Structure 1
Amino acid sequence: MENLEEQSLPTISCLSKQDWLTLSFIKGVGPARLDRLFTYIHSLETSQPKIEASKLKETINLELLLRLKWPLATAQEAISYLQDGRVCDRLSEQLSSTQTWLDVSPQHHLLMRTERQYPDELRQIDVAPIFLYVTGNLKALETKKLAMVGARKASQYGLETAYKLAQQIGSLGIGLVSGGAIGIDSAAHQGALAAAGSTIVVMGSGLLHPYPKSNQALFNRILETNSGCLMSEYPLHTKVQARLFPARNRIISGLSLGVIVVEAGFKSGSLISANYALQHNRDVFAVPGRITDKSSDACLDLIKQGAKLITQVEDVINEFSQLEIMSKLSPLIPHDLKMKKKINVYPRLQEAQNNDVSRETQVEIQKIPMLYDPNNMSESAIMVLNRIDEMLLEPDGKNEFELNQLVSMTGLAIDEVMQTCMQLELEELIDPLMTGYARRLENKSK
């Protein structure tokens, strides 16, 4: 069992771990604002090591928080707590539920940036998370790690390459970090597991709302085999929001010695990870693809800009003398390894589609859309579902919808469509595909 008070270290002496946690729950306090306050206090303590904690705490006032770009209402609520200990019911409930979560399982951890178990590599980056919520084996944080990212809509070549590289990386005792998404992320995590290696999933939502739901079996396997952990900087009850995912890519990069990009188009979120890697002074590696494939555009462009072209795991390992594992290269898994056919990096794919709808389908079922209660849906969700159902029920309707197609069909902004699709996926009304999304159908055979 972890206790919020007992786990605090004296690096930031004027505020306890519970103080920081309470501040993190205040509406309007994100990672950047919390980091500014943390940096201010740490700098003051470093420059004035003899300053008393009580005197230092007195410097945290409304004027300071406003200077640190905190919104007025957010700053006022923070000062009310710091001066009088007052918290609203919502904050009290979040603190209580977090402590309950910590008490439920020895696999549940809340790591603060000042604590020993917090990863050293991550602590060094700009705007390092103040807190990491972790489920699983903390030893996965201690190993040297490489990140692997890539497209959700990956080709078989991309999936097999990611799986093979990750399996070879895992066999060398190097940890594998990725984002847990379908496609390249899933292939990478599964490759590491196949080698009995460790793997870390960095979530873009709270740990009580894992995304995507279709990868729950993969997440469970990581925990059940004690092969790694699931991690998030966001409070436990944070729901899936498209705007939160780009920021988590800095954690993927920050945890790792380098980032390997396997298949990515110019609009891929993988480029965000690559850009963070450059900011963090990490190496970037790219797997080449065919020049005629859109899914290779970003990788080929990264290579043009100086990323190292890789075709085998040695190309990566040779860049890191500190790994001291060159002697282990001889027993590497063969380079011609193929991904096991039973492994499915697109869960539900065979169940959700039918032959006359998508080339990816194996089960033939009637095109009857899954029913939903419009009273519990947002207007944008209803609009997206209505447009999909209208197209689906046309005589030649295909159950496969690109994101850009949904934008055109609904007239909504792309970020709103992305957020809506995430919510519909969580409600199990649509399924992610290599090429976009598909409507979840009633399972009625013809």
Structure 2
Amino acid sequence: MSPRSNPLDAPLDAWLALANAPGIGPRTVARLIEHFGSPVAVLRASPERLAAAGLKPASVAALKQPDPDALAAVLDWSAQPDAHILTLADPRYPPLLAEIHDAPPLLYVRGDAGLLAEPQIAIVGSRNPTPGGLETTREFARQLVGFGLIVTSGLALGVDGAAHAAALAGGGRTVAVLGTGPDRVYPAVHRDLARRIADTGAGALVSEFPPGQGPLARNFPRRNRLISGLSLGVLVTEAALKSGSLITARTALEQGREVFAVPGSIRNPLARGCHALIRDGARLVESAQEILVELAPLLHCALAAPDSALAATAATAVDLTEAEAAPDLSVSLDAESQRLLNSMGFDPVAPDELIERSGLPAQRVAAMLLVLELSGHVSSAPGGRYHRSRA
């Protein structure tokens, strides 16, 4: 072998036989390649040497006699349009993901595989978010893709699905990391969303599990390390204390990624996970620009072209944040409007409750809310509720 040869440049069928053998996970694959020198050398090693390397009999048997039907099925899947299998030797393999200690040896991708190497921000959260949590997720996703970042999530119900859909609706790109094979969609209700991600040129579906793999509970926590491993940072918009998204956030910390959390009302149980992350060192954020400010140094390092539009956006993020449009608080308020404003907090509240708190007539409250919103003193929220914009 030439000194310049890359031992990872092995035939795809050798990678498939090694990565899909039972009892052999990503760490074992890495250890075997380091020990024997290449995937081909692992397959050529004697059963005795493989056993001495710590493999169980079933794993050794699978390496010595790979299942030809299973191999053919995977290769048939990869022959479809926009279907890709990336090995660790593939130049398209995302460099950030390759850095983690248990990087998957293979990635199965539907859609634009080139997106995996571009700067991404993960958005995760509750599978049963509040209306306010959904709106927060959509707002952050739209703004982040507007800055040129790719939004990455896990295609789950709730926050994940909202993040993917908002990224596409905002004209951006999104990556969905699956806990199934690349030919399966779970939950089934997201089949149309998965199709839009993979088939419109604006996204990619990615999995470390081969085609045909259905939804197994043990695979979804494994999926979470890919969500964070692909991304520069992870944003949690709304999560309970025992939410799976907190696993993603903590995995991100272990991988050296930034973690961001959106604070919420102390009365909202789905805000407690975010508050716990903030107490543990996650960055409290209230806008997408704050995330961009924190990621700016990483973006400059991640981008191949330092004069790219995204790099320029990152470089000016601080200025953008400082120059962010503020409400027109110079508009003077009459006594009743000030009274109504004083009855309102920063958590969304319904007009009926404002009427009760302020003691003002219902007709006056409706008109004053419109004026206060136009002047920037209050903001509307889903469900016809309102909250103060600034202190």
Shorter chain as denominator, the TM-score bin is 0.7 to 0.9
2:172 aligned residue: 197
Corresponding residue for residue 137 of structure 1: 112
Q: Highest CA radius of gyration, 1 or 2?
A: 2
- Contact 1:178/1:252 (<8 A) preserved: yes
Residue type of the alignment partner of 1:26: A
2:33 touches 2:42 (CA, 8 Å); kept in 1? no
1:167 aligns with 2:162: no
Compared with structure 1, are the counterparts of its residues 186 and 244 closer, same or farther at alpha carbon in structure 2 (3 Å cutoff)?
same
In structure 2, do the counterparts of structure 1 residues 74 and 173 end up closer, same or farther at CA, with 3 Å as the change threshold?
Answer: same
C-alpha spacing 1:64/1:307, structure 2 compared with 1 (3 Å): farther
Is contact 1:284–1:307 with CA below 8 Å preserved after alignment? yes
TM superposition shift of 1:334: 8.8
**Residue 76 of structure 1 corresponds to which residue in structure 2?**
61
Among residues 13, 31, 35, which one is paired with 2:30 in the alignment? 35
Identity of aligned residues (%): 35
Q: TM-score, normalised by structure 1?
A: 0.64
User: What is the distance in 1 between the residues matched to 2:324 and 2:217?
Assistant: 37
Distance 1:273 1:64, change over 3 A: farther
Note if contact 2:178-2:223 (Cα within 8 Å) is conserved in structure 1: yes
Q: Aligned residue pairs: how many?
A: 308
Post-superposition offset of 1:37: 1.7
Work out whether 1:101 is the aligned partner of 2:77: yes
For 1:234, the aligned partner's letter is F
CA distance in 1, matches of 2:320, 2:9: 53
**Alpha-carbon distance between aligned partners in 2 of 1:155 and 1:129, rounded to the nearest angstrom:** 34
Partner Cα distance (1:138, 1:57) in 2: 28
Deviation at 1:330, TM superposition (A): 5.6
State the 1:178 CA deviation.
0.3
Q: In structure 2, do the counterparts of structure 1 residues 179 and 13 end up closer, same or farther at CA, with 3 Å as the change threshold? A: closer
One-letter identity of the residue aligned with 2:194: F
Question: What's the counterpart of residue 68 of structure 2?
Answer: 92
Structure 1 Cα separation of the partners of residues 10 and 80 of structure 2: 26
Over the residues paired in the alignment, what is the CA RMSD in angstroms? 2.7
Q: 1:21 is matched by which residue type in structure 2?
A: L
Aligned to 1:237: 212
User: Gaps (5+ residues) in structure 2?
Assistant: 300-310, 328-391
Q: The residue matched to 2:69 in structure 1 has which SS?
A: helix
Q: Deviations over 1:381-420 (max 9, x none)?
A: xxxxxxxxxxxxxxxxxxxxxxxxxxxxxxxxxxxxxxxx
C-alpha displacement of 1:13:
5.5
Q: Distance in 2 between matches of 1:247 and 1:65?
A: 26
| Structure 1: gaps spanning 5 or more residues | 1-8, 46-52, 82-86, 337-446
Query: Partners of 1:171 and 1:223 in 2: how far apart?
Result: 20
In 1, the alpha carbon distance for the partners of 2:143 and 2:9 equals: 46
Where does 1:1-16 land on structure 2 (aligned, <5 Å)? 10-12=5-7, 15-16=10-11
Shift of 1:16: 2.9
- 1:175/1:199 contact within 8 Å kept: yes
Matched, 1:206 2:191: no
Describe the SS at the equivalent of 1:281.
Answer: coil
**2:79 aligns to what SS in structure 1?**
helix
Aligned to 2:45: 60
